[in-house]
A and B are shown apart, each in its own frame.
Chain A
Amino acid sequence: MSMNWCGLVAIAASLLLAPADASAASAEKGKAFFIQYGCFQCHGTVGQGGNAGPKLAPDPLPYEALANFVRTTNRQMPPYREAVLPNEDLADIYAYLQSVPKTPDYKTIPLLNE
């Protein structure tokens, strides 16, 4: 499959992946799903990232971009298709990532300035 064709598929997928009712998503449920679906295994329990996966939160990618990646990735992360991770649960996970508080500037943390 050419890169152009991949791009078209990604755009189309992102249009389909927009949550039907973003306001109904639950950060509390999303926190549990983040563990249950194994997201925390590489990204940490607050989406902080680690040596196995990049930072997801705070300030997550726009929902469409994140959902598109989750559904179609062919990189180190395995794709989570809807049969594995339903749209509603993904929306809850996104709500959880949005709820993660901002990271302080490291200069305000004494241990990171030694």
Chain B
Amino acid sequence: MARKNSRPEVSRRKFLAGAAVAGAAVTTSANAATPPTGAARIPSAVRPTAHQVALEANVVTEVKPIEGRAGSDFMVDVIKSLDIDYCYANPASSYRGIHESLINYGKNTKPEFITCMHEESSVAMAHGYYKASGKPQMMLCHGTVGLMHATMAVYNAWADRVPVILMGGNDLDAAKRAPGVPTYHSAQDINAIVRDFTKWDDNPVSLQHFAQSMVRAYKMAMTPPYEPVMIAIDGGLQEEPMGEHTGGLYIPRYVKSAPPQAEVGALRETAKLLVNAEHPVIVVDRTARSQNGVNLLVELAELIQAPVVDQSNRMNFPNTHHLCQSTQAQALIRDADLILGLEVSDFWNTVNLFIDNGQDHGLGIRQSRIKPGTKLITISSVELNQKSNYQDFQRFQSVDIGMAGDAEASLPSLIEAVKSVLPSDRKAAYEKRGEAMKRAWRQAIERSRQAAAVGWDASPISVPRLSAEIWAQIKDLDYSLVVSRAGIGSWPNRLWKMERHHQWLGGSGGGGLGYGLPAGVGAAHANKALGRFSVALQGDGDMMYAPGALWTAARHKIPFLSVLHNNKGYHQEVMHLQRMSNRRNRVANLGTEIKDNGPVGTRIENPDIDYSKIASGMGWWASGPVEDPKALGGVLKKAVEVVKSGQPAFVDVISQPR
């Protein structure tokens, strides 16, 4: 409220100027707390504090730099020793120390900071990067809320046997926490939330401890079975100067461990059975970790002309090879007298049939796919995983010979063992089998192409046509199919030539949606340096989990063709709901006010999402929705040119469900 005042008025601006001069002086005087007395006039307002004066008059008290090197500078030295290319991250206060060290002390290179828009995307990008390059990358996050966001993607990496170096900031020392939300939400043990789907974790309490744990974590992540690892980095450890500890610190040298190999005696026994089997079948899934693994598989199969069934969680075996018999899996498994499973995720389902029809008290029908007496042999590194609350195994399958070890690492010994017991009188039998496989392979190609012709001109566009149209544009490029959704099925594998390990990177692992887009971006990031053309068949539902990954690709100029398989639904769940409704003799509810083309809660329509607008809004070249199959080739051609120029391109294709 205004009031009359007989006292002389004092301009606040003049008062502050005078006070500021006095204030600036008092910072260095012994009477710093003494109010200014130079003016005889009495101020009309409550006297401001020295802090307010400094703020309002732009006078800053000098803050001296931290003396000595920051602990996080040493952390960067450790990280650099591991030759990590990128740090995928959302910024977070709890790792501000190491963030500053990475971009300034570390000059933002090796690793370069890649700005992400969701911690789940950060992990998925590192996941995809590894599968394209074979090099693990790091991600940084806030140790509580950020890591909570990241968890699903960590589970995907765990189930997909992919090493990712996870790092989370935390302010462990409650007595030193700065007030405010960032430190308020700290944890005693941030790693606990991902412990059941990481291979190892630690919470270093000194810089030397950090150095050892980083190298130890990297080493463990890179020993099969590959898995993510987690290191907590305390805020105090990052920000406190190294002081007198500087001198004694050292960085341990990283030497990769030799991978675990299957036991030699069991391999020899396997070799004897393989060479004498009349109908052997080799089943592969996450078998090849590299091109060398592909080459070794070819060598083994050719020795005895054994057909290979590729369950395709990696590119294991060239589909241009006559022994690639994946489309004949059912008949081959039925007739087999020996089945060798190499890193097969679900061996029970490989040799048994399950029908999800609710019979047998709701359990469904289980039937053996194999003949009595068929020898079952497995090599799997996953048997070396000792525990996990979060599981990724199916029904237990008894086998005749089970070997805990890495399949790719075991193949050289198995090949040598086979060579050493190859009977001379079996040569003609192998040749005859090889000729039969050549005929079957040619027939399978014919069948695939004729099947692709059905519904060729349909709109929504058929999945085989979508695959064929993309192939026409990329067939002469060194391509890498970085992502393909379940709805696409095996069509790219049936219609494209896949010969190199990087030409198909496999699925998410854990089945968590939100993998495709960021993992594709991460893989494309790796492929950029390797000169490969990256292409993805992206799911629409998956894309909407973390569309911010689009921006990261545009921001960091990652060339990448993402083709949206837009079937307007969470299609797997569409079919589950339909199955449940029918089993209970009820008409599936398609909605009352708005009728969808599938059960309530499973469709992404009404309104339809303008995905191209989302992509162009994030800085991508984008086109679509494309509904006319005859128009698709032209749009894809333009998109490929954009990608060749170094930019990401997006094409929304209204597609058949599956």
A interface list, Cβ under 8 A from B: 35-36, 38, 40-42, 44-53, 55, 58, 74-76, 78-81, 83-84, 103-106, 109, 111-114
Chain B residues positioned under 8 Å from A76 (CB to CB)? 355-357
Residue among A47, A51, A113 with the highest chain B CB neighbour number at 10 A: A51
Q: How far is the CA of A114 from the CA of B445 in the complex (A)?
A: 12
Report if A46-B455 is in contact (Cβ < 8 Å); known contacts: A35-B597, A40-B657.
yes
Residues of A within 8 A of B575 (CB): 41-42, 52
Question: Complex Cα distance A114/B578, Å?
Answer: 38
Q: Are B458 and A45 closer than 8 Å at their CB atoms?
A: yes
Q: Are A78 and B579 in contact (CB under 8 A)?
A: yes
Main secondary structure of the interface of A (DSSP, over half): loop
Nearest CB to that of A55 among chain B residues? B454
Q: Smallest distance from the beta carbon of B98 to chain A beta carbons, Å?
A: 46
Q: Are A44 and B462 in contact (CB under 8 A)?
A: yes
User: Are the CB atoms of A38 and B598 closer together than 8 Å?
Assistant: yes
How close is A50's CB to chain B, nearest CB, in angstroms?
4
A58, A105, A109: residue with the most chain B Cβ atoms closer than 10 Å: A109
B449 within 8 A of A: yes
Interface string of B431-465 (1 = CB under 8 A from A): 00000000000000010011111111010101101
Q: Which residues of A contact B597 (CB under 8 A)?
A: 35-36, 40
Within 8 A of A (CB), among B148-164: none
Complex Cα–Cα for A16 and B452 (A): 36
Q: Pick out which of these stretches binds chain A: B192-200, B206-214, B274-282, B584-592.
A: B584-592
Q: A41-B575, A74-B359, A112-B452 are in contact. Are A84 and B581 (CB under 8 A)?
A: yes
Cβ distance B218 to chain A, nearest Cβ, rounded Å: 39
Instruction: Decide yes or no: A52 and B658 within 8 Å by CB, A76-B355, A78-B583, A112-B468 being known contacts.
Output: yes
The tally of residues in B whose CB lies under 8 Å from a CB in A reads 47
A54 to chain B, nearest CB (A): 10
A53 to B359, CA, bound (A): 20
Instruction: Kindly state whether residue B133 has any CB partner on chain A within 8 Å.
Output: no
Q: Which one of A44, A75, A105 lies within 8 Å of B455 (CB-CB)?
A: A44
A-B contact pairs, 6 of them (CB 8 A): A41-B574, A44-B658, A46-B454, A84-B586, A103-B455, A109-B456
In the complex, whether B335 has a CB less than 8 A from a CB of chain A is: no
Instruction: Please give the distance in Å from B149's CB to the nearest CB on chain A.
Output: 32
User: Would you call A106 and B449 a contact (CB within 8 A)?
Assistant: yes
Residues of chain B having any CB pair with chain A under 8 Å? 355-357, 359, 365, 446, 449-456, 458, 460, 462-463, 465, 468-469, 471-472, 475, 489-491, 495, 571, 574-575, 578-579, 581-583, 585-588, 590, 597-599, 656-658
Contact B658 A50 (CB under 8 A): yes
Q: Is there an interface contact between B458 and A106, defined as CB atoms closer than 8 Å?
A: no
- Given A38-B574, A41-B574, A44-B455, answer yes or no on A111-B658 (Cβ-Cβ < 8 Å): no
Name which residue of chain B comes closest to A73, CB basis. Answer: B357
* A48-B454, A50-B489, A84-B585 known; A111-B357 Cβ under 8 A: no
Whether A45 contacts B460 by the Cβ 8 Å rule is yes
- Asked if residues A109 and B451 are in contact (CB atoms below 8 Å), the reply is no
Known contacts A35-B597, A38-B574, A78-B583; is A109 also within 8 Å of B357 by CB? no
Residues on B with C-beta less than 8 A from A48 are 454-455, 458, 462, 656
- Name the residue of chain A whose CB is nearest to the CB of B359: A74
Known: A44-B458, A44-B657. 11 other contacts (CB 8 A): A41-B657, A45-B656, A49-B451, A75-B355, A78-B578, A78-B582, A84-B586, A104-B453, A109-B456, A112-B453, A114-B471
Given A44-B455, A51-B490: A111 in contact with B472 (beta carbons within 8 A): yes
Whether A84 contacts B574 in the complex (CB less than 8 A), given A44-B657, A45-B458, A109-B453, comes out as no
Complex contacts, A113 vs chain B, CB 8 Å? 449
Say which residue of B452, B585, B586, B657 sits within 8 Å of A106 (CB atoms): B452
C-alpha spacing A40/B588, complex, angstroms: 14
CA of A106 to CA of B445 in the docked complex: distance in angstroms? 11
A47 to chain B, nearest CB (A): 8
| Given A44-B656, A45-B460, A103 and B578 contact (CB-CB distance below 8 Å) | no
Across the two chains, which residue of chain B brings its CB closest to A58? B454
Enumerate chain B residues within 8 angstroms of A44, measured Cβ to Cβ.
455, 458, 462, 656-658
Asked if B357 and A74 make an inter-chain contact with CB atoms under 8 angstroms apart, the answer reads yes
**CB-CB < 8 A to A84: which residues of B?**
581-582, 585-587
CA of A84 to CA of B585, assembled, Å: 6
Of all chain B residues, the one with the shortest Cβ separation from A103 is: B454
Distance of A109 Cα from B579 Cα, bound (Å): 36
Given A46-B455, A106-B450, A109-B456, A38–B588 Cβ distance below 8 Å?
yes
Q: Which residue from chain A places its CB closest to the CB of B597 in the assembled complex? A: A35
Which A residues are CB-close (under 8 A) to B489?
A: 50-51
Are B357 and A49 in contact, with the CB atoms below 8 A? Answer: no
Known: A50-B463, A103-B456, A106-B453. Is A41-B581 also a contact (CB below 8 A)? no
Q: Is the CB of A42 within 8 A of B471?
A: no
**Bound Cα distance A84, B580 (Å):** 12
Q: Top 3 nearest A-B pairs by Cβ distance?
A: A48-B455, A51-B489, A78-B582
Best-buried of B446, B449, B475, B579 by chain A (most CB within 10 Å): B449
Contact B579 A46 (CB under 8 A): no
* Shortest Cβ gap from B397 to chain A (Å): 21
Instruction: List residues of chain B with CB within 8 A of the CB of A45.
Output: 455, 458, 460, 656
Query: Are the CB atoms of B355 and A42 closer together than 8 Å?
Result: no
Nearest Cβ in chain B — how far from A40, in angstroms?
7
CB-nearest residue of chain B to A104 = B453
B571 neighbours in A (Cβ, 8 Å): 41
